[in-house]
């Protein structure tokens, strides 16, 4: 990687992947203290854009982390420039060094996926509409990356993500795990998949839907944010919402009836909450200064403006064929996944399968998040069917600490950990950077919280 050019792409190919190509360039982008790389992995006519940053501690020994945001269609520049990346966008024209970046302890890359997200694009309008379809591109991406950058072969590999990535990451990791057999058959090094990390993930609707009542009408995190009459109406409608969701969305997967069921659930749950004015990403804050894509953060607009600057696009090597106007959200991608009812698959099955195969799993949740909240996530983890279920569910919640102050609650057994982050919202590393960095350090070091 030291021989790569900084002014233009170097194109890399591999005989085992004749239809695939890597275009990559080197820079000091964003961090300045470590080597950074940007580019595309070309999978036939589909082109996935990535940023890769070496570890500040020891790039020759530290683990590799894959990060993606949610959406679907949410660019991972939110994670990069707002949460856990080496720099933070402070305005439309500048960034500052982030001392709490996860590349303090790892080599990390951020990827715009699925196709159509961020700077990723397709030549002829190709697209994917499910996590399973997207997983094929991601598995190829990972195999090509490790094959070309041999110094990272055999390192522990962690797949992490946020929000809708609670659906995507378990599917992606499973595809990579299954692909290892094929890599070994052709004499390539298998991927050392060590763990997955799901931050404020929406993984299973069946447990998440009733949890919205707990979050907005009880004292599980903060005092109720809705009035008594509204909460009574929500409570009365929940049983029908859950019943119809199970019958039409899970058991039958009838597209028309499922949409009707979800519309009813939205009327019962989401519309009253939206009317309160509170942010769906933090029920302690009103949604003011709303940024792009319905996210109540002004910094989102700054990220869009920064990445639309011609000099920034030139520095990171954005292909002229990529979208002319960068946006952290891609509504067309979200619409395709939604039309396919992708979010309705019970992705916890993938989590259980990974745990059975020795892949560690961390579920962490900012305690103030509403949309993918800790109550629903905890219920999912307790209900998860796997051989360690009884031992995991038998563990009490206990506080974990950072620098002698309580940082959240946690439960762990047999490689499976659930953790909350006090004071954190949907974007927990943004709200609690020091605490989530220490959580990350312990996780990749195989230390208990």
- Give the percent of the chain with pLDDT over 70: 97
Calculate mean pLDDT across residues 220-232. Answer: 96
Residue 234 is predicted with a pLDDT of 97
Q: Residue 3 — pLDDT band, cuts 50, 70, 90?
A: low
Residue 2 is predicted with a pLDDT of 53
* Alpha-carbon 167 to chain mean position: 9
Calculate mean pLDDT across residues 342-371. Answer: 96
Calculate mean pLDDT across residues 49-68. Answer: 96
- Greater model confidence, 188 or 378: 378
Query: Model confidence over 276-331: pLDDT tens digits?
Result: 999 999 999 988 655 545 678 888 999 999 999 999 999 999 999 998 899 999 99
Calculate mean pLDDT across residues 256-272. Answer: 95
Query: Model confidence over 187-209: pLDDT tens digits?
Result: 889 999 999 999 999 999 999 99
Residue 148 is predicted with a pLDDT of 82
pLDDT at 176 over 90: yes
Per the structure block, which two tokens stand in for 104?
Answer: 């303090």
- Greater model confidence, 33 or 413: 413
Residue 374 is predicted with a pLDDT of 98
Calculate mean pLDDT across residues 13-25. Answer: 78
Mean of the per-residue pLDDT values for the chain? 92
Query: Model confidence over 60-97: pLDDT tens digits?
Result: 999 999 999 998 999 999 999 999 999 999 888 889 99
Domains of the chain: 1-199+327-345 (3.40.50.1820), 206-286 (1.10.287.410), 367-449 (3.40.50.11320)
> What residues are labeled active site?
163, 369, 426
Q: Residue 6 — pLDDT band, cuts 50, 70, 90?
A: low
Residue 294 is predicted with a pLDDT of 61
Query: Model confidence over 140-156: pLDDT tens digits?
Result: 889 888 888 889 999 99
pLDDT at 25 over 80: yes
Rounded CA-CA distance 233/243 in Å is 16
Rounded CA-CA distance 294/73 in Å is 13
Residue 1 is predicted with a pLDDT of 56
Contact 17, 50 (CB under 8 A): no
Query: Model confidence over 91-133: pLDDT tens digits?
Result: 888 899 999 999 999 999 999 999 999 999 999 888 899 999 9
Per the structure block, which two tokens stand in for 210?
Answer: 């009733």
Rounded CA-CA distance 59/105 in Å is 9
Rounded CA-CA distance 326/309 in Å is 10
Burial of 238 (0-12, 13-18, 19+ CB in 10 A): middle
Q: Which residue has the tokens 């009733």?
A: 210
- Greater model confidence, 291 or 9: 9
pLDDT at 437 over 90: yes
């Amino acid at each position: 990687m030291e021989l790569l050019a900084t002014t233009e792409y170097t194109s890399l190919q591999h005989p085992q992947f004749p239809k695939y190509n890597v275009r990559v360039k080197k820079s000091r982008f964003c961090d300045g203290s470590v080597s950074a790389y940007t580019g595309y992995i070309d999978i036939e006519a589909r082109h996935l854009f990535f940023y890769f940053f070496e570890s500040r501690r020891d790039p020759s020994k530290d683990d590799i982390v894959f990060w993606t945001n949610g959406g679907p269609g949410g660019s991972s520049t939110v994670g990069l420039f707002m949460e856990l990346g080496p720099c933070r966008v402070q305005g439309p024209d500048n960034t500052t060094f982030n001392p709490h970046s996860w590349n303090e302890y790892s080599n990390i890359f951020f990827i715009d996926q699925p196709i159509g997200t961020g700077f990723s694009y397709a030549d002829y309008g190709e697209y994917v509409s499910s996590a399973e379809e997207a997983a094929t591109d991601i598995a190829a991406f990972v195999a090509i990356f490790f094959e070309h950058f041999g110094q990272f072969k055999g390192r522990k590999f962690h797949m992490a993500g946020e929000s809708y990535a609670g659906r995507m990451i378990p599917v992606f990791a499973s595809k990579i795990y299954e692909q290892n057999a094929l890599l070994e058959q052709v004499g390539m090094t298998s991927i050392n998949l060590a763990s997955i990390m799901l931050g404020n993930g929406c993984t299973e609707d069946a447990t998440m839907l009733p949890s919205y009542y707990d979050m907005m009408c009880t004292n599980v995190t903060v005092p109720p944010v809705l009035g008594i009459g509204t909460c009574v109406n929500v409570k009365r409608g929940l049983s029908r919402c859950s019943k119809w969701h199970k019958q039409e969305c899970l058991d039958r997967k009838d597209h028309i009836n499922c949409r009707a069921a979800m519309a009813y659930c939205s009327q019962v749950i989401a519309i009253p909450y939206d009317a309160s004015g509170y942010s769906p990403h933090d029920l302690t804050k009103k949604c003011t200064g709303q940024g792009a894509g319905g996210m109540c953060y002004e910094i989102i607009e700054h990220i869009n403006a920064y990445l639309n600057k011609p000099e920034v696009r030139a520095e990171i090597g954005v292909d002229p064929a990529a979208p002319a106007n960068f946006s952290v959200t891609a509504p067309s991608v979200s619409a395709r996944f939604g039309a396919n009812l992708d979010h309705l698959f019970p992705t916890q099955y993938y989590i259980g399968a990974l745990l059975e195969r020795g892949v560690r799993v961390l579920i962490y949740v900012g305690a103030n998040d509403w949309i993918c909240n800790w109550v629903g996530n905890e219920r999912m983890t307790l209900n998860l069917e796997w051989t360690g279920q009884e031992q995991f569910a038998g563990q009490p919640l206990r506080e974990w600490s950072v620098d002698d102050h309580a940082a959240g609650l946690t439960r762990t057994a047999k490689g499976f950990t659930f953790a909350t982050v006090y004071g954190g919202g949907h974007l927990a590393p943004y709200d609690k950077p020091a605490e989530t960095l220490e959580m990350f350090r312990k996780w990749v070091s195989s230390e208990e919280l």
